[in-house]
A and B are shown apart, each in its own frame.
Chain A
Amino acid sequence: MSPEKSFRSSTTRLAIVYGAAVLLLVVALQGTVFLLTRSALQREVHAVVTAELENLAEDFNDGGINSIIEVLRSRTDSWVRTGAVFLLADQSLRRLAGNLAAWPPDVGPVGGDEVEFRIETHERGAASTHPIWARVERLPGNYWLLVGTDTSESRRALRRFGLATLWGIGLITMLIGLLGWGYSRQTARRVRDFTAACDSIVHSDLSRRLQVGARSDEFDQLSGTVNDMLNRIEQQASLLRATFGSIAHDLRTPLYRLRVRLEEGLLHNDTSRATRELVAPVLEELDRVQRTLGTLLEIARAEAGGLARKPERIDLVALVREMCELYAPGMQEKGLKLQLDAAGEAPVGGERQLLAQLIANLLENALKYVPAGGHVSLAVQVAAERTILIVADDGRGIAAADRERAQRPFVRLEDVATAATGSGSGLGLSLVRAIARVHRGDVELQDNNPGLRVVCSFASWRD
Chain B
Amino acid sequence: MHLLLIEDDTEASKYLAKGLRESGYTVDVAADGRDGLFQATEEPYDLIIADRQLPHIDGLTVVQMLRKQANKVPVLILSALGSVDDRIEGLRAGGDDYLTKPFAFGELLARIEALLRRGQGTATATRLKVGDLEIDLLGRVVVRAGRRIELTTKEFQLLEFLARRQGQVVTRTMLLEGVWDLHFDPQTNVIDVHMSRLRNAVDRDFPRPLIHTVRGAGYVLRDES
Contact = CB atoms under 8 A, between A and B. Distances in A.
A267 interface: yes
B85 A309 contact: yes
Query: Considering residues A252, A260, A326, A423, which has the most beta carbons from chain B within 10 angstroms of its beta carbon?
Result: A260
B197 interface: yes
B22 A267 contact: yes
Contacts of B11: 257, 260
Interface in B58-109: 80-85, 88, 100-105
A327 interface: yes
Contact of A325 (B9, B80, B154, B188): B154
B101 A360 contact: no
B188 A248 contact: no
A286 B187 contact: no
Nearest to A290: B102
Interface in B173-224: 180, 182-190, 193-194, 197
Given A322-B180, A326-B180, A364 B187 contact: yes
Interface residues of A, number: 46
Given A294-B185, A309-B88, A326-B180, A261 B15 contact: yes
A329 interface: yes
B53 interface: yes
B12 A245 contact: no
A167 interface: no
A325 B157 CA distance: 13
Given A267-B19, A330-B190, A301 B83 contact: yes
A261 B11 CA distance: 9
Interface stretch (A2-10, A132-140, A218-226, A351-359): A351-359
Nearest to B154: A325
Contacts of A322: 180
A256 B80 contact: yes
A360 B180 CA distance: 13
Contacts of B182: 326, 353, 356, 360
A308 B105 CA distance: 30
A257 B103 CA distance: 10
Contacts of B190: 326-327, 329-330
Contacts of B180: 322, 326
B16 interface: yes
B85 to A, nearest CB: 4
B18 interface: yes
B6 to A, nearest CB: 15
A367 interface: yes
Contacts of A253: 9, 12, 80, 101
A424 B16 CA distance: 31
Interface in B1-28: 9, 11-12, 15-16, 18-19, 22
Contact of A256 (B12, B81, B185): B12
Nearest to A423: B187
A298 interface: yes
Interface string A276-298: 00000001001100110010011
Contacts of A353: 84, 182-184
B102 A259 contact: yes
Contacts of B189: 330
Contacts of B9: 253, 256-257
Given A248-B81, A325-B154, A330-B193, A257 B12 contact: yes
Contacts of A404: none
A363 to B, nearest CB: 9
A364 B186 contact: yes
A35 B140 CA distance: 96
B83 A252 contact: no
B184 A260 contact: no
17 contacts: A249-B53, A252-B80, A252-B101, A253-B80, A253-B101, A256-B101, A261-B15, A263-B19, A264-B15, A264-B18, A287-B104, A294-B100, A297-B83, A326-B180, A329-B197, A357-B184, A364-B186
Interface of A: 245, 248-249, 252-253, 255-261, 263-264, 267, 283, 286-287, 290-291, 294, 297-298, 301, 308-309, 322, 325-327, 329-330, 333, 351, 353-354, 356-357, 360, 364, 367-368, 423-425, 428
Given A249-B80, A322-B180, 15 more contacts: A252-B100, A259-B104, A260-B16, A261-B15, A264-B18, A291-B185, A294-B100, A297-B83, A309-B88, A325-B154, A353-B183, A356-B182, A357-B184, A360-B186, A364-B188
- A-B pairs with lowest CB-CB distance, top 7: A256-B102, A252-B80, A259-B102, A308-B85, A256-B101, A249-B80, A353-B84
